Chains A and B, each alone.
Chain A
Amino acid sequence: MSVVGHAPPPFFKRGPAPLVRLAFFVTLSLALLVADLRFHTLEWARLAVATVAWPLQRATGVPIDAAGDFGAYLSRQTTLLRENEELRQRQLGTANLLLRQDHLEQENKRLRALLDMRAQQPVEGRIAEILYAARDPFSRRVIIDKGSQHGIAAGQAVVDDIGVIGQVTRVFPLTSEVLLLTDKDQAIPVAVQRNGLRAVLAGAGAGMMELRFLAANAEVQVGDILVTSGLDGVYLPGLPVAKVIKIDRDSSYSFARIICAPLTGVERHGLALVLGSRTALPPQPDDAPVTSDQPAKGKRVKKKAR
């Protein structure tokens, strides 16, 4: 036996029984679970430990990064040339729009001033690199290489060159965590681009999204593009989000089951743009004006003469 011949195992003083210890630690773990889920009180502890562990975490990523770099180094020159050519063509294609954008923005501002509408906020972005996907298999998060030191704040929207990726949920000093749109906990207010129908898009797992709470006869077609509606005050309106790929109109349910696929390679790695926070929307109107329209009890409503 491996323990024979060394320090004898303690026969009498062995501390609490294993079951007692088990009960103690299980209770402690459950208490932590509840504290984190219900009250979100452990963010400071997470922040502290994550900051200490950051260099270690980066160090472990080095071999993976190096492997990726080596693969890229071996990619053939023809591939690079072709990619270069494609990019140049795309740049030329968009040059027309880009050159006129300034002019259009100015014009838009003037027109909006004329119409006395609230000016659209200019939003600055910050380019960040997606470092890696978080290891947690139950959620879909990625880690980006900009944190609170670079002015990132929780709640900011993250987009790439095609559309929305997700939202910053947790900020550490040098990195931050982005909850992807395909996560089950993530919901985003969208509008159908074709007809402006507003709805809420939520993650459905397995890299897909679902358009929730739309009536079975809602006017949505396969192939419709969904863009952000901007009603939440987080995402700018008009950013492309997803595409409808399957509609299941079962009349036994009151809602249609509409499955959508993200437009961007949400699960792909690369560069992303973290948009600055939008200023808060005006507070929602209270219910008070609505009730004041109603005739108060005991008062006679005078009918209009006409």
Chain B
Amino acid sequence: MQPTHSSRRILLPVRNWFIVLTLFLALVLNLVPFGRLPGIPDWVALVLAFWCIHQPLKVGMAAGFVLGLAMDVADASIMGQHALAYVLLAYFAAGWSRRVLWFPLAQQALHVLPMLFGMQIVMLVTRMATGAEFPGVLWFLSSITATLLWTPITYVLLTPQFQPEDKDVHRPI
């Protein structure tokens, strides 16, 4: 039943416009002005990691770079900060996709957690090197929230690819 390699469920092919749409929606969600409230997940990073793991041939570092630039502008941060972090995230997510997808969803989330942490640490190092202040430990909470959201977001983003459950006697699987 689970959308992993070890499940017996065969998914429909993904539609390209759906990938673009979800990434755009994640960008819009990131624009919502929550201020300095801790624990708000970085939606773009989460959805980007999801597509890099599930569709490494379609979404990769180029997408990460473009989304990173958009986030840099929206966030009023330094140009290139998000771009660098997202490119590294996309690289590791796509590189690990063959391994991650064999695990059940909870363990997939445990693989995603260090990727998101690494992304935040890249941003932290970039900004601290340029003399910014430390944003506080609570800032790292957003990676944990994002990790907890891995299961729901997997079902949401894979919904268009699920096939009907009813058995077809003429088909072998």
Asked whether A133 and B33 contact (CB < 8 A) given A22-B61, A37-B130, A185-B131, the answer is yes
Mask, A53-95, CB within 8 Å of B = 1, is 1001100110110000000000000000000000000000000
A28 to B88, CA, bound (A): 12
Asked whether A46 and B73 contact (CB < 8 A) given A29-B87, A60-B28, the answer is yes
Mask, A170-194, CB within 8 Å of B = 1, is 1000000100000111000000000
Residue B74 CB within 8 A of the other chain: yes
CB distance A29 to B32 under 8 Å?
no
CB distance B33 to A61 under 8 Å?
yes
CB distance A18 to B94 under 8 Å?
yes
Residue A231 CB within 8 A of the other chain: no
CB distance A9 to B57 under 8 Å?
yes
How many residues in B have their beta carbons less than 8 Å from beta carbons of A? 52
CB distance A1 to B5 under 8 Å?
yes
Residue A150 CB within 8 A of the other chain: no
CB distance A29 to B34 under 8 Å?
no
Q: How large is the interface on A (under 10, 10 to 19, 20 to 34, 35 or more residues)?
A: 35 or more
The 10 closest A-B pairs by CB, nearest first: A132-B33, A32-B80, A205-B133, A29-B84, A33-B80, A137-B135, A138-B132, A36-B79, A133-B35, A25-B87
Q: Looking at the assembled complex, report how far the CB atom of B164 sits from the nearest CB atom of chain A, in whole angstroms.
A: 16
CB distance A53 to B33 under 8 Å?
no
A37 to B78, CA, bound (A): 7
CB distance B84 to A33 under 8 Å?
yes
- Most B CB contacts (10 A, CB to CB) among A42, A132, A136, A203 go to A136
Q: Looking at the assembled complex, report how far the CB atom of A186 sits from the nearest CB atom of chain B, in whole angstroms.
A: 11
The chain A residues found within 8 Å of chain B, CB to CB, are 1-7, 9-10, 18, 21-22, 25-26, 28-33, 35-37, 42, 45-46, 49-50, 53, 56-57, 60-61, 63-64, 131-139, 141, 143, 170, 177, 183-185, 203, 205-206, 267
Q: Looking at the assembled complex, report how far the CB atom of B34 sits from the nearest CB atom of chain A, in whole angstroms.
A: 7
CB distance B75 to A60 under 8 Å?
no
Residue B149 CB within 8 A of the other chain: no
Residue B106 CB within 8 A of the other chain: no
Q: Which residues of A lie under 8 Å from residue B76 when comparing CB positions?
A: 134-136, 139, 141, 143, 170, 177
What are 23 A-B pairs at a CB distance below 8 A?
Answer: A4-B10, A5-B10, A21-B61, A25-B65, A26-B88, A36-B79, A36-B80, A42-B79, A45-B73, A49-B73, A50-B74, A56-B28, A60-B28, A60-B33, A134-B75, A135-B75, A136-B75, A136-B76, A137-B136, A139-B77, A143-B33, A205-B133, A206-B133
Q: Which residues of B lie under 8 Å from residue A21 when comparing CB positions?
A: 60-62, 91
- Most B CB contacts (10 A, CB to CB) among A3, A25, A33, A206 go to A25
Q: Which residues of B lie under 8 Å from residue A134 when comparing CB positions?
A: 75-76
CB distance A22 to B127 under 8 Å?
no
Residue B126 CB within 8 A of the other chain: yes
* Given A2-B54, A37-B130, A141-B76, 10 more pairs with CB closer than 8 A: A2-B101, A25-B87, A29-B84, A30-B80, A32-B69, A33-B80, A46-B79, A50-B73, A137-B135, A137-B136
